[in-house]
A and B are shown apart, each in its own frame.
Chain A
Amino acid sequence: MSFAPVARRPGDTAERRRSVLLVLPAVLVTVVVVGGGLGAAVLQSVGLLPVVGPATPSLDAYSAHPDDLLAAVGVSLWIAAASTLIAVVVGTAAAIVIVSGRLGGRIVGAIGAVTVTVPHLIGAATIGLLLADAGVLPRLLGISSEAWPALVGGPWWAAVIAEFAWKESAFVALVVTGTLATRVATYDETAALLGAGRWRRFRHVLLPLTAPSIVISGAISFVYALGSYEVAWLLGRTYPEPLPVLAVRLFQGVSLDSRPEAAAVAVVTSAIALLVVGLAFATLRRTAAWR
Chain B
Amino acid sequence: MSSIRPRPLRALSAGLALPLLVLAGCSSPATNPVSYDNWNAVIDDAEGQTVQLWMYGGDDQGNAYVDDVLAPAVAEFGVTLERVPVTDTRDALNRVFTELQAGRADGTVDLIWVNGDNFRTGREADAWLCGWTDVLPEMANTDSDDPLLESDFGTPVDGCEAPWHKAQFTLAYNADAIPDPPTTLEGVLEWAEENPGRFTYPAPPDFTGSVFVREVLASVSGGADEVPAAYSDDAFDELTPALYDRLAALAPSLWRGGDTYPANEAELGQLFADRQIDLMMTYGPATLTDLVADGTYPPGTTVLPLEDGTVGNASFLGLPANSDAVAGAMVVANVALSVEQQVAKAHPDVWGQFTVLDIEGLDAEDRALFDELPQSPVVPGYDVLSRNAHGELSAEWVPALDEGWRTNVLTR
The residue on A at minimum CB distance from B121 is: A254
Chain B residues 135 to 179 lying within 8 A of chain A, measured CB to CB, are none
Asked if B24 is at the interface (CB within 8 A of a chain A CB), the reply is yes
Chain A residues 140 to 159 lying within 8 A of chain B, measured CB to CB, are 145-146, 150, 153-155
The interface residues of chain A lying within 8 Å CB-to-CB of B91 are 252
Asked if A239 is at the interface (CB within 8 A of a chain B CB), the reply is yes
Asked if A238 is at the interface (CB within 8 A of a chain B CB), the reply is yes
The residue on B at minimum CB distance from A37 is: B19
B101 touches which of A49, A133, A155, A239 (Cβ 8 Å): A49
Chain B residues 1 to 35 lying within 8 A of chain A, measured CB to CB, are 12, 15-16, 18-20, 22-24, 27, 29
Distance between A65 CB and nearest chain B CB, rounded to angstroms: 9
The interface residues of chain B lying within 8 Å CB-to-CB of A259 are 97
When chains A and B are docked, how far (Å) is the Cα of A26 from the Cα of B398? 46
Please tell me if the beta carbons of B276 and A36 are within 8 angstroms of each other in the complex: no
Please tell me if the beta carbons of A35 and B19 are within 8 angstroms of each other in the complex: yes
The interface residues of chain B lying within 8 Å CB-to-CB of A67 are 411
Please tell me if the beta carbons of B274 and A36 are within 8 angstroms of each other in the complex: no
Contact with A along B230-260 (1 / 0, CB 8 A): 0000000000000000000000000010011
Chain A residues 91 to 139 lying within 8 A of chain B, measured CB to CB, are 133-134
Interface of B, secondary structure class, is: helix
Asked if B351 is at the interface (CB within 8 A of a chain A CB), the reply is no
When chains A and B are docked, how far (Å) is the Cα of A36 from the Cα of B197? 48
The interface residues of chain B lying within 8 Å CB-to-CB of A55 are 27
Please tell me if the beta carbons of B117 and A238 are within 8 angstroms of each other in the complex: no
When chains A and B are docked, how far (Å) is the Cα of A249 from the Cα of B410? 15
Number of A residues near B (Cβ < 8 Å) is 36
Please tell me if the beta carbons of B124 and A256 are within 8 angstroms of each other in the complex: yes
Chain A residues 21 to 39 lying within 8 A of chain B, measured CB to CB, are 28, 31-32, 35-36, 39
The interface residues of chain B lying within 8 Å CB-to-CB of A43 are 20, 23-24
Distance between B201 CB and nearest chain A CB, rounded to angstroms: 11
Please tell me if the beta carbons of B20 and A238 are within 8 angstroms of each other in the complex: no
Query: What number of A-B contacts does a CB cutoff of 8 Å give?
Result: 93
Distance between A263 CB and nearest chain B CB, rounded to angstroms: 12
Asked if A233 is at the interface (CB within 8 A of a chain B CB), the reply is yes
B276 touches which of A35, A49, A134, A256 (Cβ 8 Å): A134
Distance between B29 CB and nearest chain A CB, rounded to angstroms: 8
Asked if A51 is at the interface (CB within 8 A of a chain B CB), the reply is yes
When chains A and B are docked, how far (Å) is the Cα of A53 from the Cα of B234? 27
Interface size class of B (residues with CB under 8 A): 35 or more
Please tell me if the beta carbons of B261 and A238 are within 8 angstroms of each other in the complex: yes
Please tell me if the beta carbons of A28 and B15 are within 8 angstroms of each other in the complex: yes
Asked if A19 is at the interface (CB within 8 A of a chain B CB), the reply is no
Please tell me if the beta carbons of B260 and A249 are within 8 angstroms of each other in the complex: no
Please tell me if the beta carbons of B19 and A49 are within 8 angstroms of each other in the complex: no
Asked if A224 is at the interface (CB within 8 A of a chain B CB), the reply is no
The residue in A237, A238, A251 that gathers the most chain B C-beta atoms within 10 A of its C-beta is A238
When chains A and B are docked, how far (Å) is the Cα of A51 from the Cα of B125? 7
Distance between A249 CB and nearest chain B CB, rounded to angstroms: 7
When chains A and B are docked, how far (Å) is the Cα of A249 from the Cα of B117? 15
The interface residues of chain A lying within 8 Å CB-to-CB of B118 are 254
The interface residues of chain A lying within 8 Å CB-to-CB of B183 are none
B12 touches which of A31, A146, A237 (Cβ 8 Å): A31
Asked if B67 is at the interface (CB within 8 A of a chain A CB), the reply is no
Distance between B261 CB and nearest chain A CB, rounded to angstroms: 5
When chains A and B are docked, how far (Å) is the Cα of A49 from the Cα of B28? 9
The residue on A at minimum CB distance from B273 is: A134
The interface residues of chain A lying within 8 Å CB-to-CB of B197 are 146
Asked if B327 is at the interface (CB within 8 A of a chain A CB), the reply is no
When chains A and B are docked, how far (Å) is the Cα of A249 from the Cα of B205? 9
Asked if A271 is at the interface (CB within 8 A of a chain B CB), the reply is no
Please tell me if the beta carbons of A49 and B126 are within 8 angstroms of each other in the complex: no
The interface residues of chain B lying within 8 Å CB-to-CB of A181 are none
Given A32-B18, A43-B24, CB of A254 within 8 Å of CB of B259: no
The interface residues of chain B lying within 8 Å CB-to-CB of A35 are 15-16, 19-20
When chains A and B are docked, how far (Å) is the Cα of A251 from the Cα of B271? 28
Asked if B109 is at the interface (CB within 8 A of a chain A CB), the reply is no
Asked if A57 is at the interface (CB within 8 A of a chain B CB), the reply is no
The interface residues of chain A lying within 8 Å CB-to-CB of B228 are none
The interface residues of chain A lying within 8 Å CB-to-CB of B411 are 67, 239-240
When chains A and B are docked, how far (Å) is the Cα of A209 from the Cα of B397? 61
The residue in A32, A51, A252, A255 that gathers the most chain B C-beta atoms within 10 A of its C-beta is A51
Distance between A64 CB and nearest chain B CB, rounded to angstroms: 11
* Extra A-B contacts (19), CB below 8 Å, given A133-B274, A145-B276, A256-B121: A35-B16, A36-B20, A39-B23, A40-B23, A48-B24, A49-B23, A49-B101, A50-B27, A52-B124, A133-B276, A134-B274, A134-B276, A150-B256, A238-B261, A239-B406, A239-B410, A252-B91, A254-B205, A255-B399
B residues touching A (Cβ–Cβ < 8 Å)? 12, 15-16, 18-20, 22-24, 27, 29, 88, 90-91, 94, 97, 100-101, 117-118, 120-121, 124-126, 197, 203, 205, 256, 259-261, 263, 271, 274-276, 398-399, 406, 410-411
State the 4 A-B residue pairs at the shortest beta-carbon distance, nearest first. Answer: A36-B19, A134-B274, A31-B15, A237-B260
